[in-house]
Amino acid sequence: MSERYLYMNGRLVPYSEATIHVQSNAVKYGTSVFEGVRAYWSERQQELYVFRLDEHCRRLFDSLKLMRMDHELTLDEMRHSILETLRKNEYREDVHVRQTAYVAADGNVEATGPTGLAVDARPRKMAGKALDICVSSWVRIPDTAMPPRIKCSANYQNGRLAFLEAKAGGYDYTVLLNTRGKVSEAPGAAFFLVRGGVPTTPPLTADVLESITRTTLVQLFREQHGLTVAERDVDRTELYVAEEAFFCGSGWEVTPVASVDRLPLGQPAPGPLTRAIADTYFRAVRGEMPEYRGWLTPVYGRA
């Protein structure tokens, strides 16, 4: 297919036609919210599975509410927009989907609508090598300023500054502390570490996104590996003495960390728990674990 198709306000349109005005509220003030959703191809079953579709759609509703954006979107339309985009592009490979709701009005900063909906889907391979990361000098935005528990596009400038700083310093990526000096998350990814054999992640009150992948891994650790994840505040120095660490998210999947501030972790990355949870996660998202089929929405209806 020579050109990808996007969903744009109820229609499937060629990529080149999926545009909004430069004077729209979304462009001028960042008045948009989005979801990053994964779809995984199962060669054995000849099916493309969207992972936790309804949970992503519901989180987008939460973002619209917190951003006070006026809309008439329904859960059925949100689901339809993603599935139809994938079908139109006839994907037979792993795909990352970005679903964006935006204020299209050419108005002042307080404009709340009308709200448009756009969906783009493009092939994306699995996350790559173990990362050498740093602790950013930038601080994670607090809930009292710009709530990071929602996926507001403007929030991502905080992570962008941190990532560019890390790149300039010769690192692969970074993790941010919150205003209380505790570990929060990475730009666009939740963070786990392992200490004393216990998987640990900052709590939802640590100025983090309410990550669907994070929730998934907490459940898989408990049900498949017999481990209870410790959800608690994490000090910066704990990063340096951890046995393992990894990022997770729809985009990042399960990506191991090799070192923090040039200090290698206790075990070569990926460590045993990181490998174990990554293997379980990828089997679940590809439909290889029947007990988690409820997380999967088939695109072509073959499975």
The single residue of 125, 151, 167, 182 carrying the catalytic annotation is: 151
- Token pair for residue 159? 């992570």
Structural contact between residues 124 and 96, judged by C-beta atoms closer than 8 angstroms: yes
Element (H, E) at 59: helix 53-66
Three-state SS across the chain? CCCCEEEECCEEEEHHHCCCCCCCHHHHHCCEEEEEEEEEEECCCCEEEEECHHHHHHHHHHHHHHCCCCCCCCHHHHHHHHHHHHHHHCCCCCEEEEEEEEECCCCCCCCCCCEEEEEEEEECCCCCCCEEEEEEEEECCCCCCCCCCCCEHHHHHHHHHHHHHHHHCCCCEEEEECCCCEECCECCEEEEEEECCEEEECCCCCCCCCCHHHHHHHHHHHHHHCCCCEECCCEHHHHHHCCEEEEEECCCEEEEEEEECCEECCCCCCCHHHHHHHHHHHHHHCCCCHHHHHHEEECCCCC
| 74 burial level (CB within 10 Å; 0-12, 13-18, 19+) | exposed
Report d(CA 31, CA 26) in Å as an integer. 4
Given a contact cutoff of 8 angstroms between Cβ atoms, the answer to whether 175 and 136 are in contact is: yes
The answer to whether residue 151 is catalytic is yes
Asked if 274 contacts 254 with a C-beta cutoff of 8 angstroms, the reply is yes
Residues catalogued as catalytic: 151
